[in-house]
Amino acid sequence: MNDAFAEEQAIDWTRDWTRGGDQLMYQHCLACRQVWYFRRGFCPACGQAEPAASVCIGAGTVQACTQVERAPNDEFRALLPYCIVLVDLDEGFRAMGHGAPGLVIGDRVRCEVRTLAGKPLPYFEAAAG
Ligand SMILES: [Zn+2]
């Protein structure tokens, strides 16, 4: 077992919201510094295996807002109308999530994982201060 493999094994992916945790996690390449969201086994830019992973602080800037008026199912219909945002996180990747009402492009936001429609989902609200 080499050191890179040992490091990969130490990453606790159960902290990620997609695994039921309360954090956004991302990966980065130790060879070319590419940063990306959603877990992969290799770098999408250069193919390097065993990428590193980190927990995102959750601070970012809104890049797009869409108000949803028609929900995909009954669980989300109960939330209508709601806002979906695209956010550029400070670590250098873009994520989609639910947004607080009234957010506009350029707003500084912070992320927390909330249970919405029975599912843990990233939720962005205006950053304090
Ligand atoms: Zn790379």
Tens of pLDDT, residue by residue, the chain (129 residues): 445 554 555 678 889 999 989 999 999 999 999 999 999 999 999 999 989 999 999 999 999 999 999 999 999 999 999 999 999 999 999 999 999 999 999 999 999 999 999 889 999 999 986
> What spacing in Å lies between the alpha carbon of 67 and ligand 1's midpoint?
36
Residue with tokens 């919405």: 116
- Distance (Å) from CA 25 to ligand 1 centroid: 17
For residue 45, the CA-to-ligand 1 centroid distance in Å is 5
pTM score over 0.85: yes
Q: Are 24 and 113 in contact (CB under 8 A)?
A: yes
What secondary structure letter does DSSP report for 93? -
Q: Ligand 1 mean position to 49 CA, how many Å?
A: 8
- Please give the distance, rounded to the nearest whole angstrom, from the Cα atom of residue 91 to the centre of ligand 1: 16
Ligand 1 centroid to Cα of residue 86, in Å, is 24
Cα(55) to centroid(ligand 1), Å: 19
